[in-house]
Structure 1
Amino acid sequence: MGAELNKRLFSAADNLRSKMDASEYKNYLLGLIFYKYLSDKLLEKVVELADESLDEFDTPDKQLNLYKELLKDEDTKDDLIATLVDTLGFDIEPKYLFNVLANQAKQNVFQLNDLNKAFIDLSTKHDQFSGLFDDVDLQSKKLGSDDQQRNVTITEVLKKINDVNLVGHDGDVIGDAYEFLIGQFASEAGKKAGEFYTPHMISDMMAQIVAVGQEDKRLFSVFDPTMGSGSLMLNVRNYLKHPDSIKYHGQELNTTTFNLAKMNLILHGVDKEDIRLRNGDTLNRDWPTDEPYTFDSVLMNPPYSAKWSADNTFLDDSRFNKYGKLAPKSKADFAFLLHGYYHLKETGTMAIVLPHGVLFRGAAEGVIRKKLLEDGSIYAVIGMPANLFFGTSIPTTVIILKKNRSARDVLFIDASKEFVKEKNQNKLTKGNIDKVLSTYVKREDVEKYAHVASFEEIKENDYNLNIPRYVDTFEEEEPIDIEEVSKEIVNLNKEIEKTEKEFLLMLDELAVNENTKALIEATKEVFR
């Protein structure tokens, strides 16, 4: 059913695809899908609260009629709305429900302004939706040159989305379909999309790693200070025994992407009490600063080699002050790493994706890396294949960090050759991921794949963590048998000589007149 749902949702984008690029039309499609999900969820809840059967009230239109009837009763109206807000976290007036607007679209009487009012009503009444629909710009010229054209465009999109059953599945299915769409938009939008999406298999691997040894925790907290669409945080729930008791903490600089993450968590059925998100700059001002500010797991895929202020005042910042130097202005990689590490619990695990340069670059980065290694903070370094991420072909490394370790050894895994090559991108298979996980847990040497390096070994390498220094993947070529090659050359020459003779005989047979004789004699000269 998931594949069919994905297909239908993606086909709904056809009316927008020709008008704007993927990074823009995703805002419309995802915003409208999200609004439909909320509307449909509310109507299902109304049936449940009325003690009626979903088998009887099996369409949004039947559910809408029930909702209207219940709202007519002045004695129970307020209680119904209060219960909806208490259980769902929101309410929507019947006139603003998605299926009402879609029915108007089917009758060609839909007005853009009504949809706009619906967004405003929801966003102003309930804090958690504030700003979520700001990017669904219904006045954009890209939808059409005038109001009538824009109306036609959105009318067609509403009609297509309305046929998709979003709540006939559990929250995870629509949430996963939403993730599928985000991934599709990311691949279409290319570089612009790298900011908000970590390919699923990498996200999956990182989630499994931070869950190792913590699977049984009844209360679990996850933090992603560069959360993008929130997929890294959400994946952790798949590997814990109590997935419903996770607290999600995240921060994102880009407002559009921040809203995307909020929608994504809600669509995956996460309660608003378990969501603590902030739209802001992760490096310039620390957050969170009040309890809780350390977490069981930290997951990060920050922008690679981004610029930041690196102002000297940060040397007094508790996130950075014990490392002697600040990450350089032109490469904030270690600033992101140290920020995440500062917010990790003593018993937690952190996984961060970064470019390979962090493993060996010198100057300030070398000073920071040395201190991390002396403290035993770096637990493992995993080399990933090139061309896994949207918009960049560079190979990346996943660095695993822990606190309060007595040992200072580092596990190196070279998984850079383990992938499946596809048309535009390399992909990781479940087998590739399982191999990394198994090696990570066993923490043993594997020939040409993994090595546990002692602190002394790392020190001898001047704290350079470049993976080939520790994992030798060199494959010796098979020795060449000179005698055998000589025989092959002799035989080949005999074959060529025989073929030439046969060719010249064929030319003699073709010599039928003076013109062709002259041409054939000239050809023979080439072979003499």
Structure 2
Amino acid sequence: MSEDQKKQLEQQLWNIANTLRGKMDADEFRDYILGFIFYKYLAEKMDIYANTMLKEGGDKLKFEEIDESTPEGKEYIEAISHEALETLGYFLKPSELFSQIAKRGNSDEEGVSNFIIEDLQKILTNIQLSTMGTESEEDFDNLFEDMDLNSTKLGKTPEARNEVISKVLSHLDKIDFELESTDSDILGDAYEYLIGQFASGAGKKAGEFYTPQAVSSVLAKLVTTGKTRLKSVYDPTCGSGSLLLRVAKEVKQVNNFYGQELNRTTYNLARMNMILHDVHYRKFDIKQDDVLEHPQHIDERFEAIVANPPFSAKWSANALFTSDDRFSQYGKLAPKSKADYAFVQHMIHHLAENGTMAIVLPHGALFRGGAEGHIRQYLIEDRNYLDAVIGLPANIFYGTSIPTCIMVFKKCKENPDNILFIDASEHYEKVKTQNQLRDKDIDKIISTYQERTEIDKYSYVASLDEVAENDYNLNIPRYVDTFEEEDPIDIDAVAEELVLTDKEMEAIDKEIAGFCNELGIKSPF
């Protein structure tokens, strides 16, 4: 598929999404359209897999032609179901395929009911039920729970809701997802595009599920520097899973993806996103819970860790955590009102000895004192884990305009004697109301990081002694001098210009006084 075709697919899907907009919030009609796309994807994968099985078995019969009511049909269904659950992780009957439901919903054939809401809701439930007791059960559990087809937001009456849903399915049915193509990420990329579009319209809520692609790209390139394959990648606040998938684009292979997400709806989105990007259910492990209070992968260590946690979120800072392996060695917990360093400590705990982690934080994390200053000093002075600090432009995240930074940590630093500082805060393009990192801005950050070059007013390599002299305050202007000297002012020339201006004003005053005299009115001068 060419770039133009890819953009055409993205636009088609966005146009269909807007069919559902109505009076819904962006995040509400997002859940419906992404759910329908996901259902179509699962159905088409099922159809392709089943037809391949039938062909290999010497059958000329197509999967959708199987009569489910006959003994022979039931034998076919049982055999295909067994294999599909093992390979795909789920199963759909021929009558449950997307194309069958879409056609029925838009049928005007006499004697055929086009009311499909009840059957469609059952099918979405059956997808989950098909996995019960299998290895993929957790990955498909309640995936469609945010799609209430009987919601009055879709229409006041069942008939109105049926009409809207049938229309959306019909539009989607006409699109060829080209799943048999070797370039299987086309649909995944289109799905990512939609998530990004919804994020741009979701305001403050967007930060809960989406990291702008340019920032994701920077984080992914940082943690994959010098590597072509990764055993594992982890995101403790994974949102829609986009950041995990972005890391995979930077290397030839990622063996396993791990993540945790607090929000249930976003957790569903992350699992759908993984499957749509053709990540096998055995290769990802996404959990739902509060990662600081109830971590789900506590014994795992990961080669690459990325995160864009909620900025300065509140957490319990319970005294019991002082004996938690993630926090105990530091002597202090991050404050209740700002969990930024709690996320850092959590990620450090999970970082493999040969791993790299990159986390987005508010600028305050670089210089705030108290417990945060204590933890920051420990990470640098005692552990020497901090590898780089990168300042980002303000207003590049959805829902907040604050300036942010990226902190890069390694347990085994190639450059143990120093910390690299990069100030990329003035390198961006303004697009409408949002600032965006351009490809050249990303390339400059990454090349500077990889080569550890010092560039005037952009980057600086600080020794550990220098950082210690600054009391472990990492505020970037302490290290990268971005001061621009203003052009000298010629005082004599300014004075001469003022004299000339006074003479011109005097002449104009006399001219106005003459006009007033001619008109017989009082002069203001």
Distance 1:486 1:2 in 2: 63
Question: Partner letter of residue 455 of structure 1?
Answer: L
Match of 1:81 in 2: 81
Partner of residue 311, structure 1: 318
CA distance in 2 between counterparts of 1:68 and 1:207 reads 48
Question: In structure 2, which of residues 135, 140, 161 is the aligned counterpart of residue 129 of structure 1?
Answer: 140
1:338 aligns with 2:338: no
Structure 1: runs of 5+ lacking an equivalent = 509-516
Deviation per residue, 1:471-518 (Å, 9 max, x gap): 11111111112233344445555666777888899x79xxxxxxxx98
* Contact 1:413/1:451 (<8 A) preserved: yes
CA contact (8 A) 1:70 1:76 kept: no
* Matched residue, 1:32: 36
The equivalent position to 1:172 in structure 2, one of 185, 189, 193, is 185
Q: 2:301 aligns with which of 294, 304, 314?
A: 294
Alignment partner, residue 389 of structure 1: 397
Q: CA deviation at 1:521?
A: 5.0
Amino acid of the structure 2 residue aligned with 1:85: L
Cα shift readout 1:256-306 (whole Å, capped 9, x = no counterpart): 11110101011111111111111111011233134xx00110001111111
- Write the distance in 2 (CA, Å) between the matches of 1:489 and 1:63: 90
CA RMSD, aligned part only?
A: 2.6
Q: List runs of 5+ in structure 2 lacking aligned partners.
A: 109-113, 132-136
Does residue 12 (structure 1) correspond to residue 16 (structure 2)? The answer is yes
Residue 134 of structure 2 corresponds to which residue in structure 1? none
Q: Given the alignment of the two structures, is residue 478 of structure 1 paired with residue 487 of structure 2, yes or no?
A: yes
User: Structure 2 CA distance, aligned partners of 1:70 and 1:275?
Assistant: 36
Identity over the aligned pairs, expressed in percent?
46
**Cα pair distance change 1:476/1:148, threshold 3 Å:** same
Whether the 8 Å contact between 1:385 and 1:396 is mirrored in structure 2 is: yes
With the length of structure 1 as denominator, give the TM-score of the two structures.
0.89
Deviations 1:373-394 (A, max 9, x none): 1111111110100000110111
Q: Tell me if 1:357 matches 2:370.
A: no
* 1:115-264 alignment runs, 5 A limit: 115-126=120-131, 127=137, 128-168=139-179, 170-215=183-228, 217=229, 219-240=230-251, 242-243=252-253, 245-264=254-273
CA contact (8 A) 2:67 2:73 kept: no
Give CA deviations for 1:72-116 in whole Å, capped at 9, x if unaligned: 556654333333333322221122111111112212613211110
- Number of aligned residue pairs: 502
Matched, 1:460 2:469: yes
Shift in Å, 1:362? 0.9
Query: Residue 513 of structure 1 aligns with which residue?
Result: none
Q: Distance in 1 between matches of 2:281 and 2:296?
A: 19
Distance 2:449 2:99 in 1: 50
Q: Identify the range of structure 1 (258-267 vs 495-504) with the bigger mean alpha-carbon deviation.
A: 495-504
**Take 1:63 and 1:419, find their aligned partners in 2: how far apart are those partners?**
53
Amino acid in the other structure paired with 2:391? G
2:9 and 2:238 mapped to 1: Cα distance? Answer: 26
Residue type of the alignment partner of 2:140: F
Mapped to 2, the partners of 1:67 and 1:334 lie a distance apart of 58
TM-score, normalised to structure 2, is 0.89
Residue 171 (structure 1) shift = 2.5
Q: Distance in 2 between matches of 1:104 and 1:143?
A: 19
Alpha-carbon distance between aligned partners in 2 of 1:501 and 1:105, rounded to the nearest angstrom = 86
* Alpha-carbon distance between aligned partners in 2 of 1:194 and 1:467, rounded to the nearest angstrom: 25
Deviation of the 1:34 alpha carbon: 0.4
Q: Go from structure 1 to structure 2 and tell me whether the alpha carbon gap of 1:418 and 1:68 turns closer, same or farther (over 3 Å shift).
A: farther
Letter in 2 for 1:14: N
